[in-house]
Structure 1
Amino acid sequence: MLKKKSYFFSRAVGGLANSLFSMVFIWWLQTSTKSSFVVGIAEAIFSTTAALSIFYGPIIDHYSFKRTSYYSILVQTVFLFATTIAVYQLSKSYILALICAGIVSVCDEFFNPADRAILKETTANEQELNNLISKVSNIDQLVNVAGTALSGFLLTFLISANVMLICSLLSLISFVFLFYALKEIKDRPKVKKAEAKYLNQILNGYKFIKTNYFLSHYFWSSILYSFVTPAMAILLPRIAQQNGQAGLYSMFYISFMIGFVIGATIAGRLSVRVKTIGFTWIASAVPLLLIIFFSNNWLIFTGLIFLFGLMTSIHNILAESLIQITADDEILGRVLTTIRTSTSIGGPISSIVAGILLDSSGETVLILACGTIILISGLNIFRAVNEAN
Structure 2
Amino acid sequence: MKVLVAIDSFKGSISSIEASRAISEGIQESYPDAEIIALPLADGGEGTVEALLQATGGTKIERKVKGPLAAEKTAVYGILDGGKTAVIEVAEACGLAFVSPEQRNPLLATTYGVGELIADAIGKGCRDFVIGLGGSATNDGGTGMLQALGFRFLDGSGNETGLGGQALKKIAGIDGSGAMPELMECNFRIACDVNNVLYGPTGAAHIFGPQKGATPEMVEELDEGLRHFAQIVLDQLGMDLQSIAGAGAAGGLGAAFSGFLRSEMESGIDLIMDITDMEKKMQGADIVITGEGRLDDQTAMGKAPLGVARLAALHGIPAVALAGAVSKDVGGLNRLGLTSCFSIINSPMALDEAMNPEVAYSNLRRTASQLFRLIRSVAVPAGNLQN
Under TM normalisation by the shorter chain, which class is it? under 0.3
TM-score, length of structure 2 as denominator length: 0.24
Q: Which has the bigger relative contact order, CA under 8 A and spacing at least 6?
A: 1
Structure that is richer in helix per residue: 1
TM-score, length of structure 1 as denominator length: 0.24
Structure that is richer in strand per residue: 2
Q: Which structure's CA Rg is the greater one?
A: 2
